[in-house]
Chain A
Amino acid sequence: MAFLLRRVVFYLAAFIAAATINFFLPRLMPGDPIQIMFSGAGSNLSMENLNALKLTFGFIDAPIGQQYLHYLQSVFTGDLGRSIKYFPLPVTELLARALVWTLGLVGSATIVSFVLGTLLGVMAAWRRGTLFDSVVSLLSIFSSSVPAVVISLTMLFVFGYSLHWFPNGYAADPMLDPAFGWAYISSVIHHGALPMFTMVIVLTGGFAVTMRNNMINLLGDDYIVMGRAKGLSDNQVMLWYAARNALLPTVSALAISVGAILGGSLVTEVVFNYPGLGNMLYQAILARDYPVIQGQLLIMTAAMLVANFVVDLSYVLLDPRLKKA
């Protein structure tokens, strides 16, 4: 319990750090921070609305310390300001709407690639030195070194534009009514398949390499040899003795890579015109809609911290040595 409590305190500090970056960035830039932040609005914003926005971001007539506290208060009360491009939509509402799609895409892709990559890594390590091992290693090198944007564009070109197997954009057929009918759901799956598959390609290699290396590093350990000496089947030793132990460092590697996964999803969404956070962010960048750009950092950080906490929890379940600690 103490372990988990320490983690929660740490995550809180990390979240405040992200908010702090948001607060100071516009103030560190040369020029008037208010001008920078809200220039995208042009003359669309009434004086009254502009003042409300300034208040949210801590631009008040007070020393910088008080401004900072004011901003933190906004953040922790869930007020991330309003989008300038889609005024008067609140940033939280806008991002929450997009987050659903991103979580669906990232969640399913992460689960599939984690399971697939881990299994491939386990089998490659178990058959170390064989052709299977070499093939898995080479594919992993490929998948973990080619930029997500490149894989996304190539997939879109091949399977979307050339073969026409999958649609080229959007999360569902815009003609369909988003009711929970079969037609809508199958359309969502059809539209989501290619971006998801792309992310699986991007992510699987990293998981496979991590798992393979972790496995190999413990295959010489005495308890593995003892498992074999006990007459257990290969699968039993491979899964319950080797993989079960190698999974621990792999899971903590997963926690660190959540950030990279979210980053990869941003790019994939932009390429596939998928209405998640990435696309939202892309639109915001083009329009210099700073409240949205800042808001996504906080949302992404929060998502990362929640994911890390889930990993912490599963770590406690997986490793009996942590239960008492």
Chain B
Amino acid sequence: MSVLSVRNLSIDYIGAKTVFHAVKDVSFDIAPGEFFGLAGESGCGKSTIAFAISRLHRPPALIRTGSHILVDGRDVLELDDAELRSFRWREVAMVFQSAMNSLNPVLTIEDQFYDVLNTHTGMSRSAARERAAELLGLVDIPTDRLSAYPHQLSGGMRQRIVIAICLALKPKLIIMDEPTTALDVVVQREILQRIHKLRQELGFSVLFITHDLALMVQVSDRIGIMLEGELVEVNDAQTIYRSPSHDYTRKLWASMPRLHGEQIAQDAK
């Protein structure tokens, strides 16, 4: 069974007079352990889908009736508030776009592990500290950084910490919304390799969102291409790379310098 199954998802932004259709009748699946890429230009609706999976939208966004988002067979859109809180992060965790800005600037790193561990598992402070140290180990960050504030860490370190926080509850799916756009190329590469390795060890699936198709082909198993709210092509990464079937995919490729695929995946092995 799929970890994530999106069915007929439509999302609108309701203005006072106009309606903007951000996502139009999108369906796709992500298998256990799969690395699924969602590509498209900015504003094509890919982040809107990511937000919908954890139900993070706020008015005036509207997920249309008839849409279904199944995580492990359960429809996220049917959850009540309490179920939703317990679902978030435990089943789907998320890495956000700006590495510089996704940690709370006034809380220590330890606090930001503690609040999620305590909320979901009732873990005590000292147990949470131990678990946080263990998780930081996974992303090669020394334990003494637990008492640091975000501004004392580099962008790459912050993003690795976010990934460690993502792993705290062993989710089935991690959504990465342009996780490396704010980072330089070397750091970006290092982070993607690490995610690749952790995925092999821990077995979670990844929904990876970027506008950088070349990068995506290097890391993804399968890829979906989005255009103005519609999912126009879904195929395995090599097919998207070698013989794209949709016009728009070909145009995307034409607009990008070509790189050699599979590099990062191989380096990680």
Contact = CB atoms under 8 A, between A and B. Distances in A.
Interface of A: 129, 221-223, 225-233, 236, 240-241, 244-245, 248, 318-321, 324
Given A223-B104, A232-B116, 12 more contacts: A222-B96, A225-B51, A225-B56, A226-B103, A228-B56, A231-B84, A232-B85, A233-B85, A236-B119, A244-B104, A245-B104, A321-B105
A231 B85 contact: yes
A231 B119 contact: yes
Contacts of A321: 105, 149, 151
A319 to B, nearest CB: 7
B61 to A, nearest CB: 12
23 contacts: A222-B97, A223-B101, A225-B51, A225-B56, A226-B103, A228-B56, A229-B56, A229-B88, A229-B89, A229-B94, A230-B116, A231-B87, A231-B88, A231-B116, A231-B119, A232-B85, A233-B85, A240-B115, A244-B106, A244-B107, A245-B105, A319-B106, A320-B106
A308 to B, nearest CB: 22
Given A129-B59, A232-B119, A320-B149, A227 B104 contact: yes
A244 B108 CA distance: 13
Contacts of B51: 225
Given A228-B88, A231-B120, A320 B56 contact: no
- Central interface residue in A223, A240, A319, A321, by most chain B CB within 10 Å: A223
Contacts of B93: 229
B94 A226 contact: yes
A289 to B, nearest CB: 49
Interface of B: 51, 54, 56, 59, 84-90, 93-94, 96-98, 101-108, 115-116, 119-120, 149, 151-152, 162, 165
Contacts of A241: 104
A250 to B, nearest CB: 13
Contacts of B96: 222, 225-226
